[in-house]
A = this chain, B = another copy of it.
Amino acid sequence: MRIGELAERAGTTPRTVRYYEEIGLLPGAADRSSGGHRSYGDADLERLRELLRLRDLLGLTLEELKAVVAAEDARAEIRREYRSTESPARRAELLQAALGHLDTQLGLVRHRMDELATLEAELRERQERVRARLAELGAPVG
């Protein structure tokens, strides 16, 4: 697919995709099919979606996202080395590193969920109070 479709399906803009490529967060599109147009596959779409999700949900900066990409590339490297002659010790080391990154991300996710749960509770409390006042006025509760 071309950059317009990629961006729309990922929920962003072509400009953002080009910017991410410019700063090295996304690799330059593999083939620039005739006319210099960037061309992308489904794997590119999935990776972009995940980056945007981490950006929006966890508030990671683009520098931090670069570190995430590096960690994921390392995981991909693990899979590639999996059947090679790499030593079990080295494999375990890489897997442990991957576990560390996942732990960090899970910690961030849970922290955010806690904060959101607190916010939700406060909003519901306010909502109840407003509803109670409306009831006092003899109005129907919306």
The answer on a CB contact under 8 Å between A120 and B137 is no
The answer on a CB contact under 8 Å between A119 and B59 is no
A95-B130, A142-B96 known; A102+B123 contact, CB < 8 A: yes
Segment from A1-9, A18-26, A32-40, A105-113 that makes contact with B: A105-113
Check if A66 is an interface residue, CB within 8 A of chain B.
no
| A142 cross-chain contacts in B, Cβ below 8 A | 96, 99
Check if A69 is an interface residue, CB within 8 A of chain B.
no
The answer on a CB contact under 8 Å between B137 and A92 is yes
Interface string of A97-134 (1 = CB under 8 A from B): 01100110110011011011101100110110011011
The answer on a CB contact under 8 Å between B57 and A99 is no
A53-B115, A113-B113, A142-B96 known; A106+B130 contact, CB < 8 A: no
The answer on a CB contact under 8 Å between A116 and B57 is yes
Give CA–CA (A142, B92) in the complex, Å.
10
The answer on a CB contact under 8 Å between B130 and A102 is yes
User: Which residue from B103, B116, B130, B133 sits with its C-beta under 8 Å from A112?
Assistant: B116
| A91 cross-chain contacts in B, Cβ below 8 A | 133, 137
The answer on a CB contact under 8 Å between A102 and B120 is no
- New contact pairs (11) apart from A88-B137, A91-B133, A109-B119, CB-CB < 8 Å: A56-B59, A57-B119, A59-B59, A88-B138, A96-B139, A99-B127, A102-B123, A106-B123, A109-B123, A112-B116, A113-B120
